[in-house]
C-alpha cells in the first residue's frame, strides 16, 4: 500500500476529545500512514475550535462544498487510489461524484455504527415497547444499506452488526470488513502506572451530549439510578462529563445530591483514570462503545447494560458488571465501588478484553490485505456486486441531477 493517495471525506472534522467517532478516525489515519499512505482529509462541515488539527500529523486538510462542481475538479486532480467515506450520509453526498471522476478508486465506507439500528432501538424505547426485527426496516435502513452496497467495502465496528447485515439483510460477506477499535495493548508497566483502588474515588459517566443515547443515559442516572446509589454511598460523587452540554443538561447539576455536571473534559483519560467506576447504563444505541473501551484503557471497571456491552467482550468476562434491571445496576455499582477484590478482578477482565479483542496487531494486517486483494481484483469484485452497480446507476441518475439543480439554484 506504500505511496498510495487516500482521500477521507469526513462528515465532521475529527474531535477525538468529543466523541469515539473522532478517536476511531485518528486510529484509521495512523494505521494508513504507518503503511506509507499520503492522506488528505476533506469535509464540508464548519471548522470547530475542538477539532483536532490533522495537519499536525502530516495530513492535508481541504474544505469542500456540498452540491458544487468544485469538488469534481478537486477529486479529479488529486486522483486518489482510495476514498474513505465517514458515515453513509457522506457517501450519499459525494459517492456519485467520486465514482464519476475517479472510477478506479477503491470506495470504502466507515459506518462508525449502524445508524438505522441505533434509531430503530431509540424509537422502540421512546414508544415504551420491546425492540423487534420489523423496526429495522426503515427509510434510514434503506439509505444506509444502499450506501453499503454501492461501496466496495464497508468497515463494521461490531460483530453483532456484521452478523445482522449478513443474516437479516443478506449482504455478501465480501462487502463487509469487521474492524474494531484499534488500541495499544496494556502491558505490565502500564498496569503499574494506573492509580490503585484506594487512590481512586467517585463514579463517572462520559459522553458527547449531541448523541441521544448519552443524553438519555444521563437522565436515567439522574432520575432512577443515582438516588439509590447516593443513599447507599452518601460520600461518593457522580461526575458527568461530555462535550456540547445544553442548558437542559447543565440544569441537572445538583451538588447537594453529589450529582455533578462537569461539561467537557480537558483530558478524558485523566478523569477516567482517577475515577473508581464508570457508570454507563445505556438503554439504546449501536456499535461498540468508545467510553467503555476508554474505561478499560484506564484500568477503570464499569457497570453497563447488555446494549452497552453488546459484542464487546466476546466470550470473556466483563470489565465489571452487565445488568439491565435498575435495582441490579444499583447493587452492582455499590458492590464494585466498595469491594477491592471484586474491583481488581474486573480491572483484569477489562485488560484481557482489550489485549485479546481490541489490540491493533490483531486487525492491521487483515485490513491491509483486504484492501490489496480488492485493488488487484476490483472490476470482478464490482461485477459480483451487481445490485451495487444498479444502485450506483440510479444514484447517478437521481442524486446527480438534484445536486446539479441545487448548484444551479445557488448561483
Spatial CB neighbours of 95, under 8 Å, sequence gap ≥ 6? 85, 107, 147, 150, 151, 392, 395
| Domain identity same for 13 and 39 | yes
- C-alpha Rg value of the chain to the nearest Å: 22
| Domain identity same for 243 and 224 | yes
Neighbouring C-beta atoms of residue 35, cutoff 10 Å: 14
| Domain identity same for 325 and 371 | no
| Domain identity same for 215 and 344 | yes
β-strands 203-206, 277-280: how paired?
A: parallel
The confidence score (pLDDT) of residue 116 equals 97
| Domain identity same for 341 and 370 | no
| Residue 240 per-residue DSSP state | E
| Domain identity same for 168 and 39 | yes
- pTM over cut 0.85: yes
| Domain identity same for 389 and 287 | no
Grid cell digits, residue 302: 464499569
| Domain identity same for 338 and 393 | no
Which of helix, strand or coil describes residue 42? strand
* pLDDT tens for each residue of the chain, 411 residues long: 678 999 999 999 999 888 888 999 999 999 999 999 999 999 999 988 889 999 999 999 999 999 999 999 999 999 999 999 999 999 999 999 999 999 999 999 999 999 999 999 999 999 999 999 999 999 999 999 999 999 999 999 999 999 999 999 999 999 999 999 999 999 999 999 999 999 999 999 999 999 999 999 999 999 999 999 999 999 999 999 999 999 999 999 999 999 999 999 989 999 999 999 999 999 999 999 999 999 999 999 999 999 999 999 999 999 999 999 999 999 999 999 999 999 999 999 999 999 999 999 999 999 999 999 999 999 999 999 999 999 888 776 667 767 777 777 777
| Domain identity same for 154 and 25 | yes
The confidence score (pLDDT) of residue 33 equals 95
- Residues spanned by the domain of 336: 188-358
Nearest to 274 by CA among 253, 295, 255: 295
| Domain identity same for 373 and 339 | no
The confidence score (pLDDT) of residue 124 equals 96
Q: Counting Cβ atoms within 10 Å, is residue 332 exposed (0-12), middle (13-18) or buried (19+)? A: buried
The confidence score (pLDDT) of residue 48 equals 85
Structural domain count of the chain: 2
DSSP H or E segment with residue 295:
helix 290-297
What is the rounded CA–CA span in Å between residue 107 and residue 372? 13
DSSP H or E segment with residue 400:
helix 386-410
| Domain identity same for 102 and 61 | yes
| Domain identity same for 136 and 109 | yes
CATH at residue 106: 3.40.50.2000
Spatial CB neighbours of 128, under 8 Å, sequence gap ≥ 6? none
Q: Which residues lie across from 238 on neighbouring strands?
A: 203, 259
Amino acid at each position: 500500500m506504500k505511496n498510495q493517495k487516500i482521500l477521507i471525506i469526513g462528515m465532521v472534522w475529527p474531535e477525538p476529545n468529543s466523541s469515539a467517532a473522532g478517536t476511531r478516525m485518528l486510529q484509521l489515519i495512523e494505521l494508513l500512514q504507518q503503511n506509507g499512505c499520503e492522506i488528505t482529509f476533506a469535509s464540508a462541515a464548519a471548522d470547530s475550535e475542538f477539532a483536532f488539527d490533522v495537519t499536525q500529523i502530516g495530513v492535508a486538510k481541504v474544505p469542500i462544498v456540498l452540491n458544487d462542481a468544485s469538488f469534481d475538479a478537486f477529486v479529479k486532480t488529486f486522483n486518489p487510489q482510495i476514498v474513505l467515506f465517514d458515515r453513509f450520509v457522506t457517501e450519499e453526498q459525494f459517492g456519485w461524484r467520486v465514482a464519476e471522476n475517479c472510477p478506479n478508486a477503491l470506495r470504502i465506507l466507515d459506518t462508525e455504527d449502524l445508524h438505522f439500528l441505533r434509531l430503530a432501538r431509540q424509537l422502540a424505547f421512546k414508544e415504551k415497547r420491546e425492540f423487534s426485527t420489523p423496526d429495522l426496516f426503515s427509510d434510514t435502513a434503506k439509505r444506509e444499506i444502499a450506501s453499503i452496497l454501492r461501496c466496495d467495502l464497508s468497515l463494521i465496528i461490531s460483530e453483532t452488526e456484521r452478523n445482522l447485515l449478513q443474516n437479516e439483510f443478506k449482504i455478501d460477506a465480501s462487502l463487509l470488513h469487521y474492524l474494531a477499535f484499534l488500541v495499544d495493548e496494556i502491558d505490565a508497566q502500564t498496569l503499574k502506572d494506573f492509580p490503585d483502588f484506594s487512590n481512586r474515588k467517585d463514579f463517572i459517566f462520559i459522553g458527547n451530549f449531541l448523541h441521544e443515547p448519552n443524553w438519555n443515559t444521563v437522565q436515567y442516572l439522574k432520575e432512577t439510578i443515582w438516588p439509590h446509589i447516593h443513599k447507599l454511598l452518601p460520600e461518593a460523587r457522580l461526575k458527568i462529563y461530555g462535550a456540547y452540554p445544553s442548558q437542559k443538561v447543565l440544569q441537572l447539576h445538583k451538588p447537594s445530591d453529589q450529582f455533578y455536571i462537569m461539561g467537557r473534559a480537558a483530558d478524558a483519560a485523566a478523569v477516567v483514570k482517577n475515577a473508581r467506576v464508570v457508570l454507563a447504563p445505556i438503554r439504546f444505541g449501536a456499535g461498540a462503545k468508545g467510553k467503555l473501551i476508554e474505561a478499560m484503557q484506564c484500568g477503570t471497571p464499569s457497570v453497563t447494560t447488555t446494549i452497552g456491552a453488546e459484542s464487546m467482550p466476546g466470550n470473556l468476562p466483563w470489565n465489571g458488571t452487565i445488568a439491565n434491571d435498575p435495582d441490579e445496576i444499583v447493587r452492582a455499582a455499590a458492590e464494585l465501588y466498595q469491594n477491592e477484590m471484586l474491583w481488581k478482578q474486573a480491572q483484569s477482565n477489562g485488560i484481557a478484553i482489550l489485549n485479546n479483542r481490541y489490540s491493533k496487531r490483531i486487525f492491521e494486517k487483515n485490513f491491509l490485505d483486504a484492501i490489496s486483494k480488492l485493488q488487484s481484483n476490483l472490476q470482478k469484485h464490482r461485477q459480483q456486486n451487481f445490485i451495487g452497480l444498479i444502485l450506483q446507476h440510479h444514484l447517478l441518475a437521481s442524486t446527480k441531477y438534484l445536486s446539479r439543480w441545487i448548484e444551479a439554484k445557488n448561483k
